[in-house]
Amino acid sequence: MTELNSFPIRRLRRFREKEFIRKILQENTLNVNDLIYPIFVSEDISEKQVIQSMPGIYRHSLKSILYEIEKCYKLKIPAVAIFPVINQSKKDNEGSEAFNEKGLVPKVIEKIKNSFPEIGVISDVALDPYTSHGQDGFVNMRGKIDNDKTIQLLCRQALVHAHAGADILAPSDMMDGRIIEIRKHLDANNFYELPIMSYSSKFSSAFYGPFRDAVKSTNNLSGKNKDTYQINIANCKEAFLESYIDIQEGADFLMVKPGMPYLDVLFNLTQKVFLPVFTYQVSGEYAMIKNAVNNGILTESAILESLISFKRAGARGILSYFAIEIAEKISS
């Protein structure tokens, strides 16, 4: 007879044997309130337009975007993030269309807030959709990104979005010192209560490819990279340093981007800071999972699994192109 002490005393399978026990012991749950839906919008189209590199995602017209916002409203998705597709003829070196008070983004913000005031609108503060070279900053005579000149332009853009009614400003440019300057600029114009979500840990990643296709900036970038201002993909401590500086400069929320390839950064950051930390499941992550599901390589449960991983790592909010799709499943 086998001796009793040869058996495992602690059997963790007891936690998993019954479904009700598994439910009770589940440590992290995805809620609709965790989701933020990124939306592309163009003023050059009358109906929504398929984005080939992102199955199921569209460039929206000024008309069709309201139908998409209505879906979010009915599903109780709390917020959307707006990304513009700018006509090539309006792009220049400094991205001057970015601070056009009657431009695309101000129009979209006003439309959304007039029709669905309960939906939070997060506006992207960055120049890359507007520049003829596809970079996030002003390029000087020596061909370098001029950090301080860029910040001046970002402050102008931020103020335009603030006046239009944006609920959160999200600088994604990665220029040094931009958070404190935007904060001072907003406060000087009586936008004391308007929060800033800093893309504090934005890596120079290959996973942004479909996004650049969506906003039609791939050709503008002409094969160049953003290594001189986005974080080296091999670095972790540098991301923490960026985040600490942005906290000191007045950021209200932090962002880790991309998501799944940088779960270590997300987890460690949420353990070290008290500010809410968000993450962005970017276009390349979306396309990779969506194409695998569409081709039968993965099951649809991989979508939820990917989003739960962000919750497990400590994310307080998740920007994901799966937001509507997964909200429908959670709500059903």
136-178: per-residue pLDDT in tens? Answer: 999 998 989 999 999 999 999 999 999 999 999 999 999 999 9
Cα 285–Cα 314–Cα 121 angle in degrees, nearest 5:
65
The pLDDT tens digits for 119-140 are 999 999 999 999 999 999 999 9
> Roughly how many angstroms between the first and final C-alpha of the chain, as a whole number?
52
Q: Domain 30-331: give its CATH architecture.
A: Alpha-Beta Barrel (3.20)
Q: Mean of the per-residue pLDDT values for the chain?
A: 95
Cα 311–Cα 285–Cα 88 angle in degrees, nearest 5:
125
CA atoms within 13 A on the CB side of 155: 19
Cα–Cα distance between 124 and 138 in angstroms, integer? 17
Amino acid at 54: M
Instruction: Mark whether 257 is an active-site residue.
Output: yes
Cut 0.85: pTM above it: yes
Contact 282, 208 (CB under 8 A): yes
Of 91, 216, 257, 290, the active-site residue reads: 257
Instruction: Judge if the upstream peptide bond of residue 258 is cis by omega within 30 degrees of 0.
Output: yes
Of 202, 216, 226, 290, the active-site residue reads: 202
Cα–Cα distance between 175 and 171 in angstroms, integer? 9
Whether 4 shows a pLDDT value over 60: the answer reads no
When pLDDT is averaged across residues 254-273 and rounded to a whole number, the result is 97
Nearest to 186 by CA among 278, 118, 123: 123
CA atoms within 13 A on the CB side of 148: 0
Instruction: Mark whether 113 is an active-site residue.
Output: no
